[in-house]
Amino acid sequence: MHDLRWLRENAAAFDRSLARRGLPPAAATILAVDEERRALETRLQEGQAERNRLSREIGERKRAGGDARELLDRVAALKDEVKAGEERLRELQARLESLLASYPAVLAEDVPDGPDERANRVVRVVGTPRRFAFAPKPHDELGARLGMSFEKAAKLSGARFVVLTGGLARLERAIAAFMLDLQTREHGYTEVAPPYLVRDEALFGTGQLPKFAQDLFRTDSGHWLIPTAEVPLTNLVAGEILAESQLPLRFVACTPCFRSEAGAAGKDTRGMIRQHQFTKVELVSVTTPEQSAAEHERMTRCAEEVLKRLELPYRVVLLCSGDTGFASTKTYDLEVWLPGQGVYREISSCSNCGDFQARRMQARFRPEGGKPPRFVHTLNGSGLAVGRTLIAVLENFQEEDGSIRLPGALVPYMDGIDRLEPEGR
RNA sequence: GGAGGGAUGGCCGAGCGGUCUAAGGCGCACGCCUGGAGAGCGUGUUGGGGGCAACUCCUCGCGGGUUCGAAUCCCGCUCCCUCCGCCA
């Protein structure tokens, strides 16, 4: 959702942002509808003012016991005209709003230009990939002897699901608990247990609807399964006018996430990299416009801290213009090193959405001093994707015999167990 | 699933055909008072648009209707709540 006032004065900047995302210009189209709407509104207003004045006069005259017939005739002529104008105005307004809702967020200035992920910029590399004395295996191979079954999952649910059993199920729970504790105890996030089914409005607010319906699962009842806890957490402030003193708000939730992966046929078909259902710990911040850039850095560090404590090598990548999501003005991805595949893979994505989502969901705050409300800024980031973290632990901490030595930070969450042993050994 | 009740400004809450430009309260802002704070007093305070401006329009859940005129009457929808039934 975009600010019309801003757009009028910054049409070129708007189109430049679209161009950087590889999209054709649109400001002129939007502004033409805006122009039409304003002209109509100005014209309509005269009629409305006249009607209101006459009606008031009729009331006065009737109360005084006078004859209002002549005034009634005059207002009758205005009536249809005004009504038609109001209808037309509503149409234009609706058209304008759906236009405004269909273009992605204006990118931050410091987002590098580029068409796709190859142009992303590595900001920092943290930790050194371990040197293996043997060929490290991918997680699905390791998992086969540890309680990871895609066959069982396929029987139940089809492709892109997994069943974890025993130590691996326990490990997933341990990782999630560790992350929640870190973010709540040390980083000041408030834990939330939100609904996993939401309505259209919530998904419109965060920007998944109406454009990306094909990526989502929908129930018979008309609800949608959340693709990320960003949706319920951010929409917590939808329609609110918060006090500036309440900001920043910081929420964390561990939820399952559901994605149809409609456009990903044939991609990442092996292993549990890309699933229809996965667990994720999500961070959401709501801030003032002045604070959001600093909060973005802070949030990214909060996500990075998880990787540091788990002793996982990673790098931070600033996404280029063509790779930055619809609702985001700027995004850092955290990519963890996966020795089994010899690549860095996305494990977190931290985005500053500016006021883009706030406008869609009417989330505002009242500045100190009783001034008019302003839109908040919203940010979200994974802290982290739990399934992919589990993968990273397996691949990075594997031993030649297929066992997994667990990072120290997780041991307390595993009741002291510091090793997963494969079956049939 | 059945039967009722409700939706008003940042919040609570009155209003049930014209001056509602929405009472009153809370909160907030500013001022007075004070050594300072509090209390008290006074003033202001829904939100969103249009217009160079004067000014004006919209906004009482949403949409439609009746009317010269709707927060108020009628119809539809959405959401919330209560009770009963069923069920974690």
Cβ partners under 8 Å of residue A202, min gap 6: A231, A232, A235, A238
What's the rounded Cα separation, in Å, for the pair A225 and A209?
Answer: 13
pLDDT value of residue A178:
98
Residue A327 has pLDDT above 60, yes or no: yes
What's the rounded Cα separation, in Å, for the pair A65 and A73?
Answer: 18
CB atoms within 10 A of CB A87: 10
Model confidence band, residue A263 (pLDDT cutoffs 50, 70, 90) = confident
Residue A60 has pLDDT above 80, yes or no: no
| Average model confidence (pLDDT) across chain A | 92
Residue A62 has pLDDT above 80, yes or no: no
Residues with CB under 7 A from strand B: A 4-5, 38, 41-42, 44-45, 48-49, 51-56, 58-60, 62-63, 72, 75-76, 79, 83, 87, 90, 199, 241, 364, 366, 368-370, 372-373
pLDDT value of residue A425:
56
pLDDT value of residue A305:
98
CB atoms within 10 A of CB A9: 11
Cβ partners under 8 Å of residue A22, min gap 6: A115, A321, A322
More confident residue, A397 or A90: A397
Pick the catalytic residue: A51, A274, A366, A374?
Answer: A274
Whether residue A326 contacts residue A212, with contact meaning beta carbons closer than 8 Å, is answered with: yes
Chain B bases near protein CB atoms (7 A cut-off): 10, 18-19, 27-30, 44-45, 47-51, 56-58, 63-65, 68-69, 79
Q: What is the ipTM of this complex?
A: 0.85
pLDDT value of residue A358:
93
Q: What percentage of chain A has pLDDT greater than the value 90?
A: 71
Burial class (CB in 10 A: 0-12, 13-18, 19+), A289: middle
What's the rounded Cα separation, in Å, for the pair A53 and A64?
Answer: 17
Structure token pair of residue A269: 């078909």
Peptide bond into A248 cis (omega under 30): yes
Model confidence band, residue A73 (pLDDT cutoffs 50, 70, 90) = confident
* Domains in chain A with CATH codes: 4-102 (1.10.287.40), 117-420 (3.30.930.10)
Pick the catalytic residue: A57, A141, A261, A346?
Answer: A346
Element (H, E) at A170: helix A167-181
| Full DSSP string of A30-98 | HHHHHHHHHHHHHHHHHHHHHHHHHHHHHHHHHHTT---HHHHHHHHHHHHHHHHHHHHHHHHHHHHHH
Residue A177 has pLDDT above 90, yes or no: yes
Residue A276 has pLDDT above 80, yes or no: yes
A259 is annotated as an active-site residue: yes
Pick the catalytic residue: A160, A250, A360, A388?
Answer: A388
Model confidence band, residue A50 (pLDDT cutoffs 50, 70, 90) = confident
Q: What is the mean pLDDT of residues A332-350?
A: 97
A274 is annotated as an active-site residue: yes
pLDDT value of residue A158:
93
Model confidence band, residue A11 (pLDDT cutoffs 50, 70, 90) = very high
